[in-house]
Each structure stands twice: as structure tokens, then as C-alpha cells.
Amino acid sequence: MATAAVLAPHDVPTTLNYYAPLDGSEEPPYAFVEPPADGKLRSNVGSEPYPTVIHDARAAEEELTLDKNGFQFLKWPSIETKFDDDARIKEKYYPEVEELLKTVTGAKRVFIFDHTIRRRKPGDPGEDTPDNRGPAERVHIDQTYQASENRVRYHLPDDADRLLKSRVRLINVWRPIENPVAHHPLAVSDWRFLDEKDLVPTRLIYPHREGGTYSVRYNPNHRWYYLADQTPEEVVLIKCYDSEEDRARLTPHTAFADPTAPKDAPHRQSIEVRALVFDSE
């Protein structure tokens, strides 16, 4: 009760799932994108919950920026509302995201390499699949520094050497679908309070190649934000990589359970688009 008394009206006390190694695993952290055929454990990355307060960014949105904090909240309506057709998403929504990223960052070139729709309700039976994903409830960063550079070479091999000589960023654009977010909002962690020793490189193993993500160790100094009742007209920009080292380079993020959310509120739906953002053409 004493803790609750000092919280701002929409700050949320909750727990976040941070990195913990699985008992008995001696192998460096890894995760397979698809279940391995040899029956090997799909991932040896475990998690441990820690109590955390998520601060409401409402009324402070203009103070939080990609280069200072590693994330940014913006109102940017879309002509797309349902996000139920991949071809239409790529035809109509991708150009909107490209325009958004160029406007906000001043970039000259944007390459969108994928998107993820999340509609699965937490607690539903079965596992996440590409067609039925739920919120990602583990603190993480989508790419390691090296994996981000490797993505440039993977997606744009002919231009990679030239593009990598100038500033490169990898930015996710996250948006709710259909309803304001009540259950399992997205939380983002301020770069300024992150110790890079908190980052745990984790092999991400695809059938045909290997990438990398960061799991994140708990640190009580982390400072977390979310946008209360975020609407489908509002986006979060999440920096996962920046080649410039004198500013925010990435931000941990995760969905979290909001115990104050109305029980009858619609469950969360969202889309996140991932893009390479270049200062060179």
C-alpha cells in the first residue's frame, strides 16, 4: 500500500520476465526459430520475474526521443485498420511506415524486412506460431549489434559495403490494432539506465542462417515506460540498433501484465514492422 501511494495515477506495479539460464544448460544461450528436427530443446533461455514499476509516458511524450532514450511515442494514424491481409499490409502500410521513419529520423533510405501480427490471447492452449502469436512477455532486444549489421548484408548485399559506411539504424514500429491497449501493453526501457553488461547475446537459429538477439539480465536501475491506453492511431518507435555510439543505441522491451486493466476489455492485438534505416541512399 505504501508503494502504491507514491505512484502516479497510471504508473503500473507489475513483474517483468528477465533472463535466467535454464537449470543444467552449459551451452551458450540459443533459440531456434522453428522446432529442431533432432528433438533438441528449442531454447535454453529461461526467465525469472522481478517486481517493476512501469511509468506512464502520457504528458511526457515530447521529452522521450529515439536518440536520447531509445524509443519514441507518436500519433501517426494509418489508413489500414484491420491488418488482416499481408499483401495489403505490404502495399498500403509499408509505405506509411517508410514515410514515418524518414520524417522522424531524417533518413534517406528505409528497407522494411518483415512484420509480425500478434492476436493470440495469453493463456490460450497451444504454442505461438507465425499465424497465431501472442504478446512477447520476456525482456529482450530483437537484434544484437552484429546481427543488425549482418542483416544489411543479408537483405541488401549489393549495397551493403557502401551503406555500412554511414549511419545505420534498425527500428521497430509498433502499433495496436482495432482497440486501445488494456491487457499486456508494451513497455520500453530507457537506454540511459541500461548497463551493457545486462545484455546477454543469444543465438537465433533459422533453418538456413543464424542471427542474434539480446536477452536481458535484471538490473534495479532500469527505468521502464509505456503509453497508457495506447490507441491504434499511436505508434511506438523502438530502436534495436544504431551504428552511432554517442547516443541511445537500443532499448529493451517487453509486454507486461497490467493488473489494473478492466477484465472485460478486448485482448491486445498489434503489429510491429521492422526496418533498416539509412542515412545514405
Q: pLDDT tens across 75-107, in order?
A: 999 999 999 999 999 999 999 999 999 999 999
Instruction: Tell me the β-bridge partners of 170.
Output: 241, 276
Bridge partners, residue 52, by sequence: 14
Residue 196 one-letter amino acid: E
> What contacts 129, CB < 8 A, 6 or more positions away?
none
Least confident of 119-123, 154-158, 244-248: 119-123
SS3 label, residue 216 = strand
Rounded Cα–Cα distance for residues 205 and 174 (Å): 24
pLDDT tens-digit map of 125-150: 655 556 668 899 999 999 999 999 99
CB 128 within 8 Å of CB 120: yes
Q: What is the pLDDT of residue 123?
A: 63
Backbone CA torsion sign across 91, 94, 98, 104: positive
**114 CB contacts (<8 Å, ≥6 apart)?**
273, 274
∠ CA 271-214-13, rounded to 5°: 65
C-alpha to C-alpha distance for 215 and 96, rounded to whole angstroms: 30
User: Which residue would you say has higher pLDDT here, 15 or 61?
Assistant: 15
pLDDT band at 163 (very low <50, low <70, confident <90, very high): very high
Sign of CA dihedral 181, 6, 251, 234: positive
State pTM to two decimals: 0.93
